[in-house]
């Protein structure tokens, strides 16, 4: 069947994020979000940063169109401006940093220097290609789906091009950067450094660090503030690079950092001690202080009543909860896909409103643009049944009322239910479509879920989903939180206060409220409010559960095991179900009881085998390695001699009055670039045209280096091993 | 079975006790072939078709197409397949496509016996790759597990001879699948060899796939045919055990056909098409044609010999290893001609 979805009048824009963090694709149709998904869900490689071929294929499939129906493809970052920052960073620390340089060159030659070429060749596409600035992509993902016509937008992440944080002003269909904080001063990188130090994976474990914080005491706050960072009153920061390794090496921190905290990082296999908990708590406190100050400054410079938030740091829901309660803003809205995956969506939305000068898309019969953030694939009953039949599962088929009744009953009986229904979520959280559910009143539920189902650290808390109309009965905030991005406290009249216990496992198992499984040790909860308009199937289960038990809350954790991406298709779900202690699986209209199945079913598909690294080596690695050494000694060191001053200032002193925010560099500054000319690789002039940290004389000095770099790039073919590589676990991907 | 990792996120097939596997019914999906992506749809009966099948033919002439992935249309959309093109080109003709990817001739005949036969029909068409002769056993080793990138061994129904009688084994088909080692780099040694040859022929970098498609070089055809039909040699020997079994299976279909015309459409490798090279297989199928009044052998290699060499070369796709759009068009012309010549339409 030919694609029948496209009508000539429809505007289809495809957004892509790739090669840094979790890659993703998003398709918007006339300004509405038609489809969006992370590549990891299809490739089954957690945080897959490859070119998102499968996600793109899915997005086109959702609208039954082909690439020829697209009005444009847009990439979420400007790699050529990023290159300026990377070369500048190396210039600053040279002659150190040659190892890192080699890594960077290999990565760039294979992927980032040739993004238009990769897009064209992977998709057989010859239409328009655009790049949007990284933080504009984040900002657009936060502003356009928000309910606000005028808002300040705060984006905070590791780094994108030069920016590590931006204050933007969104007004109707426009977005403008007002202030920006630049590399290497980055809250995201600071947080990632501590993630690494506490023994979690960078680019992934930031969330765990946040979860660990309530167990600790903020005893290191002063150590951090006295040594690592200068926090200005306006929320801008300056990092003391003496303690960080990321400009010189493949390491977030260095020996001075270890010394400061009395020893090296926790090894991943070692148990978490009070030190890590205290550190987690301390860096969380510092983060919250900075985010609050940044937000209040954004309020003052933009002068809007509302705030939109995106970038990886916006996934820190503890900070978000404080923003909502304590900042000067009346209301806030956060993009659920706040990390780089959401950049794909933001880039497409920005292009739509800018290039097509389109008006904001009004709510669709009361459903806002982001709705429940269910923009992934749906699988039919036929597909679910086919999967179950293939492996010989025993099941019963039910639907509607009957289905929610059965599941509510199972939950009330203490069963753990895997729930698979409708379109998959876009963003890192499971919001009921691909979720594991449990009874929050059960004291042992948190340990059971952690140890026997998720196979993960037992301290990790679980989140509740609560019927939106009942949120105020359980929590001290009844603010809508459809994407699990806000923290609220369990209401005091529901809490119990046992005496201190130092052992984490014991503390986890102490009953703290009448919904213990979702009450964190500090009596907070990371809540999802469920609105029937967004997901009636999920809502009805909880409604039924309430009828049975009087409780309008369930435990909701993502449908996966530790280190595995959230399940996508039925096969992923049945495999996860059979390899964990889940009791019941509801997959579309089919209910599967573990007790009815052959226990050996799918057992050879153990999870471990999925988690092994790709191990792909670059086929041109040697050639590029040699060439990069030459580039370093022949070009980079020479440039260093000829450039008076690096744009990166490494001096550090505590001086909280002097702002580190920078104004918008250029009045004529544009954040959107058309790359139609670049069917193949970049040209020197083109790259330099995006550089804004050097004057024109200085830019000339870089020409021989760029020329050699491009020559190297042209001499190697696209290496699939590198366009399909997994993201680093030790190092924030900033190059 | 699980799709390969470059394919769709939607699983192709589901278990069937009598056939081994059938397509997932009522599915719509995009196949992300890098050069020519396409959409496919399956109907309520679990076959690739844009419409559900009706038992009664209601006055139209109807052909039942049986076969493997070539007939099912791997590599093109439903309407781009030769069966659908034939239907579009002849008035008052319905083509019901019961083709099944990765199936052996045994399963194709079982589809007729258990499913297709119940639908009114006037003509039977059996279109299959010569490679299917290797699929006549109790299991099929299939490309890859979607996630693990390993070969999967799928049990399937099959025919075997017992005291001179043709028996069916593995009914109901066992469900158990075993994994058999990792798939090397998706395409394996042949592509690496091709790359080496490509470099030797003076290229420094570029698209090896395109070169193999377009160069019409001897090397590229040999490589492609090697990659496609390494078992081709079996047809050189009419006393071969596998051919003997294949012949018996086809005869079983003939016996079951109620004397309806049966068109046999074996599809050779690209080299045979491209250089109009005559293999031994023709004589084997001619024998069947001579033995049964209702059997028609349609030799695509013979039919294409007057086409320009470039067209012949471009009938087969390097990336899908199946007929291209052009290949399907040429095949449909051959079939239409055959129907007319035999007075069947
Ligand atoms: Fe980012």
> Can you tell me which residue has the tokens 């590229």?
B220
Contact A122 B34 (CB under 8 A): yes
Average pLDDT over residues A693-699: 92
* Band of pLDDT at residue B197, cut at 50, 70 and 90: low
pLDDT at B44 over 60: yes
Residue A716 at interface with chain B, using a CB cutoff of 8 Å = yes
For B91, half-sphere exposure in the C-beta direction (CA atoms, 13 angstrom radius) is 0
Mean pLDDT over each residue of chain A, to the nearest integer: 89
Residues of A in contact with B39 (CB under 8 A): 1-3, 61, 64
Neighbours of B168 (CB within 10 A): 15
Q: Which residue of B has its CA nearest to A376?
A: B9
Contact A70, A12 (CB under 8 A): yes
Going A302 to A308 to A313 to A317, the CA torsion angle's sign is positive
pLDDT at A516 over 70: yes
* Band of pLDDT at residue A204, cut at 50, 70 and 90: confident
Q: Which tokens belong to B125?
A: 């068409």
Residue B254: strand, helix, or coil:
helix
Kindly give the pairing relationship between strand B178-182 and strand B38-41: unpaired
Contact A571 B35 (CB under 8 A): no
How far apart, in whole angstroms, are the C-alpha atoms of residue B263 and residue B123?
Answer: 8
How many whole angstroms from A713 Cα to the centroid of ligand 1?
Answer: 25
B231 or A524, higher pLDDT: A524
Q: What kind and span of H or E run contains A174?
A: strand A174-182
pLDDT at A231 over 60: yes
* Band of pLDDT at residue A611, cut at 50, 70 and 90: very low
Selection from A607, A530, A534 nearest residue A574 by Cα: A607
For B292, half-sphere exposure in the C-beta direction (CA atoms, 13 angstrom radius) is 22
A164: left (phi over 0), alpha (psi -120 to 50) or beta: alpha
How many whole angstroms from B28 Cα to the centroid of ligand 1?
Answer: 34
State which fold the A182-331 domain adopts.
Answer: Nucleotidyltransferase; domain 5 (3.30.420)
pLDDT recorded at residue A268:
87
Contact A379 B10 (CB under 8 A): yes
How far apart, in whole angstroms, are the C-alpha atoms of residue B90 and residue B112?
Answer: 24
Residues of B in contact with A609 (CB under 8 A): 148
Percent over 70 (pLDDT), chain A: 91
pLDDT recorded at residue B188:
45
How far apart, in whole angstroms, are the C-alpha atoms of residue A146 and residue A304?
Answer: 14
- DSSP secondary structure of A32-92: EEEEEEETHHHH--TT--S--HHHHHHHHHHHT--GGG-SEEEESS-HHHHHHHHHHHHHH
> Can you tell me which residue has the tokens 């190092």?
A731
pLDDT at A670 over 80: no
CB under 8 Å to B266, separation ≥6 — which residues? B128, B129, B130, B281, B285, B299, B300
Selection from A588, A551, A558, A532 nearest residue A411 by Cα: A551
pLDDT at A691 over 60: yes
pLDDT (tens digit per residue) in A120-137 = 888 889 899 999 999 999
How many whole angstroms from A159 Cα to the centroid of ligand 1?
Answer: 6
Give the range among A192-196, A606-610, B134-138 with minimum mean pLDDT.
A606-610
Average pLDDT over residues B169-193: 70
pLDDT recorded at residue B123:
98
Residues of B in contact with A53 (CB under 8 A): 6, 32
Residue B43 at interface with chain A, using a CB cutoff of 8 Å = no
pLDDT at A615 over 50: no
pLDDT recorded at residue B185:
44
Question: Cis omega (within 30 of 0) on the bond before A301?
Answer: no
Contact A519, A414 (CB under 8 A): no
Selection from A649, A653, A648, A659 nearest residue A227 by Cα: A653
* Band of pLDDT at residue B186, cut at 50, 70 and 90: very low
Residue B147 at interface with chain A, using a CB cutoff of 8 Å = yes
pLDDT recorded at residue A728:
56
Give the range among A53-62, B59-68, B216-225 with minimum mean pLDDT.
B216-225
Residue A390 at interface with chain B, using a CB cutoff of 8 Å = yes
Extended beta strands in B89-242, E state? 93-97, 123-129, 139-142, 150-155, 158-162, 165-169, 178-182
How far apart, in whole angstroms, are the C-alpha atoms of residue B30 and residue B10?
Answer: 9
Contact B24 A386 (CB under 8 A): yes
Residue B206 at interface with chain A, using a CB cutoff of 8 Å = yes
User: From the CA of A383, how many Å to the nearest CA of chain B?
Assistant: 6
Selection from B332, B329, B321, B328 nearest residue B35 by Cα: B321
Contact A408, A544 (CB under 8 A): yes
Contact A569 B10 (CB under 8 A): yes
pLDDT at A302 over 50: yes
Residues of B in contact with A56 (CB under 8 A): 32
pLDDT recorded at residue A550:
97
pLDDT at A1 over 50: no
How many whole angstroms from A20 Cα to the centroid of ligand 1?
Answer: 8
How far apart, in whole angstroms, are the C-alpha atoms of residue A680 and residue A696?
Answer: 26
B185 or B108, higher pLDDT: B108
Selection from A650, A631, A633, A323 nearest residue A477 by Cα: A323
User: From the CA of B31, how many Å to the nearest CA of chain A?
Assistant: 8
User: From the CA of B196, how many Å to the nearest CA of chain A?
Assistant: 14
pLDDT (tens digit per residue) in A311-358 = 999 999 888 999 999 999 999 999 999 999 999 999 999 999 998 878
Question: Cis omega (within 30 of 0) on the bond before A697?
Answer: no
Going B199 to B202 to B204 to B206, the CA torsion angle's sign is negative
Give the range among A526-535, A593-602, B176-185, B208-217 with minimum mean pLDDT.
B208-217
Query: B167 phi and psi, to 5 degrees?
Result: -115, 160
How far apart, in whole angstroms, are the C-alpha atoms of residue B223 and residue B201?
Answer: 15
Average pLDDT over residues A361-383: 94
User: From the CA of B192, how many Å to the nearest CA of chain A?
Assistant: 12
Write the DSSP symbol of residue A266: P
- Considering only CB atoms, B205 lies closest to which of A380, A383, A717, namely A717
pLDDT recorded at residue A666:
57
ipTM computed for the complex? 0.89
Residue A462 at interface with chain B, using a CB cutoff of 8 Å = no
How many whole angstroms from A341 Cα to the centroid of ligand 1?
Answer: 8
pLDDT at A5 over 80: no
Residue B108 at interface with chain A, using a CB cutoff of 8 Å = no
Contact A383 B35 (CB under 8 A): no
B224 or A286, higher pLDDT: A286
- Considering only CB atoms, B175 lies closest to which of A44, A391, A717, namely A391
Average pLDDT over residues A668-692: 73
The dihedral over CA atoms of A21, A432, A368, A146, expressed in degrees to the nearest 10, equals -40
Domain residue limits, chain A: 182-331, 381-596
Contact A277, A212 (CB under 8 A): yes
Contact A715 B78 (CB under 8 A): no
User: From the CA of A124, how many Å to the nearest CA of chain B?
Assistant: 6
pLDDT at B191 over 70: no
How far apart, in whole angstroms, are the C-alpha atoms of residue A302 and residue A436?
Answer: 41
User: From the CA of B3, how many Å to the nearest CA of chain A?
Assistant: 11
pLDDT (tens digit per residue) in B268-308 = 877 677 766 667 788 889 999 999 999 999 999 899 988 99
Interface size, chain A vs chain B, as Cβ–Cβ contacts under 8 Å: 101
pLDDT at A211 over 80: yes
How many whole angstroms from A323 Cα to the centroid of ligand 1?
Answer: 20
What would the CATH number be for the domain defined by A381-596?
3.90.870.20
pLDDT recorded at residue B247:
94
Selection from A372, A408, A565, A404 nearest residue A483 by Cα: A372
Contact A609 B34 (CB under 8 A): no
> Can you tell me which residue has the tokens 């992370």?
A38
* Band of pLDDT at residue B5, cut at 50, 70 and 90: very low
How far apart, in whole angstroms, are the C-alpha atoms of residue A666 and residue A678?
Answer: 25
Residues of A in contact with B175 (CB under 8 A): 390-392
How far apart, in whole angstroms, are the C-alpha atoms of residue A649 and residue A117?
Answer: 35
Contact A1 B9 (CB under 8 A): no
pLDDT at A470 over 70: yes
Query: A554 phi and psi, to 5 degrees?
Result: -125, 160
What would the CATH number be for the domain defined by B4-182+235-341?
3.40.50.1110
> Can you tell me which residue has the tokens 């049945």?
A574
Contact B110, B20 (CB under 8 A): no
Give the range among A418-422, A471-475, A515-519, A643-647 with minimum mean pLDDT.
A643-647
Kindly give the pairing relationship between strand A237-239 and strand A306-310: unpaired
Average pLDDT over residues B34-61: 93
User: From the CA of A2, how many Å to the nearest CA of chain B?
Assistant: 6
Average pLDDT over residues A250-264: 93
Q: Which tokens belong to B115?
A: 């499913």
Query: A406 phi and psi, to 5 degrees?
Result: -60, -45
Residues of A in contact with B28 (CB under 8 A): 1, 61, 64
- Considering only CB atoms, A717 lies closest to which of B147, B178, B206, namely B206
Domain residue limits, chain B: 4-182+235-341
pLDDT recorded at residue B207:
56
Residue B148 at interface with chain A, using a CB cutoff of 8 Å = yes
User: From the CA of B262, how many Å to the nearest CA of chain A?
Assistant: 28
């Amino acid at each position: 069947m030919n694609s029948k979805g496209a009508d000539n009048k429809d505007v289809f824009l495809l957004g892509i994020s790739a090669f840094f963090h979790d890659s993703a694709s998003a398709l918007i149709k006339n300004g509405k979000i038609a489809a969006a998904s992370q590549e990891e869900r299809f490739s089954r490689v957690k945080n897959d940063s490859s070119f998102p071929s499968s996600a793109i294929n899915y997005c086109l499939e959702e609208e039954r169109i082909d690439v020829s129906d697209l009005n444009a493809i847009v990439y979420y970052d400007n790699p050529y401006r990023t290159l300026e920052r990377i070369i500048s960073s190396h210039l600053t620390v040279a002659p150190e940093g040659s190892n890192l340089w080699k890594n960077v060159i290999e990565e760039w030659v294979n992927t980032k220097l040739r993004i238009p070429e990769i897009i064209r060749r992977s998709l057989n596409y010859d239409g328009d290609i655009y790049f949007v600035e990284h933080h504009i992509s984040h900002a657009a993902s936060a502003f356009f789906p928000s309910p606000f016509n005028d808002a300040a937008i705060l984006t905070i992440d590791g780094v994108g091009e030069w920016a590590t944080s931006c204050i933007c002003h969104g007004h109707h269909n426009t977005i403008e950067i007002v202030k920006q904080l630049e590399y290497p001063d980055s809250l995201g990188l600071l947080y990632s450094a501590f993630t690494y130090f506490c023994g979690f994976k960078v680019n992934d474990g930031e969330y765990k660090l946040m979860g660990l914080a309530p167990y600790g005491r903020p005893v290191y706050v002063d150590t951090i503030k006295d040594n690592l960072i200068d926090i200005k009153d306006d929320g801008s920061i300056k990092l003391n690079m003496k303690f960080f390794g990321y400009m010189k090496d493949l390491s977030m921190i260095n020996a001075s950092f270890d010394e400061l905290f009395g020893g090296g990082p926790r090894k991943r296999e070692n148990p978490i001690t009070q030190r890590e908990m205290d550190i987690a708590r301390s860096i969380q406190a510092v983060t919250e202080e900075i985010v609050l100050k940044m937000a209040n400054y954004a309020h003052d410079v933009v002068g809007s009543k509302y705030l939109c938030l995106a970038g990886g740091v916006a996934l820190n829901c503890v900070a978000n909860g404080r923003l909502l309660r304590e900042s000067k803003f009346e209301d806030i809205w956060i993009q659920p896909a706040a990390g780089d995956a959401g950049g794909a969506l933001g880039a497409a939305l920005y292009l739509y409103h800018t290039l097509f000068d389109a008006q904001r898309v009004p709510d669709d019969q009361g459903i806002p643009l982001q709705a429940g953030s269910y923009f992934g694939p749906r699988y039919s009953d036929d597909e679910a049944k086919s999967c179950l039949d293939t492996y010989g599962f025993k099941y019963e088929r039910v639907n509607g009322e009957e289905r929610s009744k059965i599941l509510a009953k199972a939950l009330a009986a203490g069963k753990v239910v895997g729930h698979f229904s409708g379109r998959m979520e876009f963003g890192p959280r499971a919001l009921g479509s691909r979720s594991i559910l449990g009874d929050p009143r059960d004291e042992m539920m948190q340990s059971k879920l952690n140890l026997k189902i998720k196979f993960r650290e037992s301290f990790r808390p679980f989140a509740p989903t609560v019927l939106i109309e009942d949120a105020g009965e359980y929590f001290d905030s009844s603010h809508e939180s459809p994407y699990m991005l806000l923290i609220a406290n369990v209401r005091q009249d529901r809490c119990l206060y046992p005496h201190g216990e130092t052992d984490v496992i014991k503390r986890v198992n102490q009953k703290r409220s009448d919904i213990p499984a979702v009450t964190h040790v500090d009596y907070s909860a990371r809540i999802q409010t469920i609105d029937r308009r967004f997901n009636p199937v999920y809502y009805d289960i909880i409604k039924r559960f309430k009828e049975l038990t009087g409780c309008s809350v369930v435990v909701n954790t993502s449908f996966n095991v530790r280190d595995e991406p959230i399940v996508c298709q039925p096969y992923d779900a049945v495999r996860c179900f059979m390899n964990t202690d889940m009791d019941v699986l509801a997959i579309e209209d089919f209910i599967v009881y573990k007790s009815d199945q052959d226990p050996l079913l799918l057992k050879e598909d153990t999870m471990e085998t999925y988690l092994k690294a790709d191990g792909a080596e670059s086929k041109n690695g040697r050639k590029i390695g040699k060439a990069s050494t030459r580039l370093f000694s022949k070009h980079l060191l020479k440039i260093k001699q000829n450039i008076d001053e690096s744009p990166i200032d490494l001096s550090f002193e505590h001086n909280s009055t002097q702002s580190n925010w920078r104004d918008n560099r250029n009045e004529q500054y544009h954040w959107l670039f058309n790359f139609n000319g670049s069917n193949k690789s970049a040209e020197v002039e083109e790259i330099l045209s995006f550089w804004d940290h050097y004057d024109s004389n200085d830019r000339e000095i870089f020409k021989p280096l760029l020329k050699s770099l491009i020559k190297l790039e042209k001499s190697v073919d696209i290496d699939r091993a590198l366009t399909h590589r997994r993201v680093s676990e030790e190092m924030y991907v900033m190059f | 079975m699980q799709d390969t990792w470059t394919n769709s996120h939607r699983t192709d097939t589901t278990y069937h006790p009598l056939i081994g596997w059938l397509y997932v019914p009522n599915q719509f999906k995009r196949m992300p072939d890098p050069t020519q992506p396409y959409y496919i749809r399956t109907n309520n009966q679990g076959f690739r078709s844009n419409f559900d099948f009706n038992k009664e033919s209601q006055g139209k002439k109807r052909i039942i197409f049986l076969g493997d992935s070539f007939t099912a249309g791997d590599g093109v959309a439903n309407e781009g397949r030769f069966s659908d093109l034939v239907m579009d080109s002849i008035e008052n003709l319905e083509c019901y496509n019961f083709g099944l990817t990765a199936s052996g001739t045994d399963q194709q005949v079982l589809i007729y016996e258990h499913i297709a036969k119940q639908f009114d029909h006037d003509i039977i068409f059996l279109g299959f790759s010569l490679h299917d002769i290797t699929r006549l056993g109790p299991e099929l080793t299939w490309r890859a597990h979607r996630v693990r990138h390993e070969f999967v061994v799928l049990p399937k129904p099959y025919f075997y001879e017992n005291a001179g009688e043709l028996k069916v084994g593995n009914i109901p088909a066992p469900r158990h699948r075993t994994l058999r080692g990792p798939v090397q780099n998706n395409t394996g040694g042949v592509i690496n060899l091709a790359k080496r040859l490509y470099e030797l022929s003076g290229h420094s970098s570029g698209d090896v796939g395109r070169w193999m498609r377009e160069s019409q070089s001897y090397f590229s055809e040999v490589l492609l045919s090697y990659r496609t039909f390494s078992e081709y040699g079996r047809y050189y020997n009419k006393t071969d055990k596998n051919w003997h079994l294949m012949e018996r299976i086809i005869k079983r279909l003939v016996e079951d056909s109620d004397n309806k015309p049966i068109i046999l459409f074996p599809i050779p490798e690209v080299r045979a098409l491209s250089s109009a090279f005559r293999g031994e297989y023709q004589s084997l199928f001619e024998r069947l044609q001579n033995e049964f009044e209702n059997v028609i052998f349609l030799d695509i290699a013979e039919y294409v010999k007057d086409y320009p060499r470039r067209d012949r070369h471009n009938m087969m796709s390097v990336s899908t290893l199946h007929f291209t759009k052009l290949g399907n068009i040429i095949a449909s012309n051959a079939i239409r001609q055959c129907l007319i010549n035999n007075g069947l339409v």
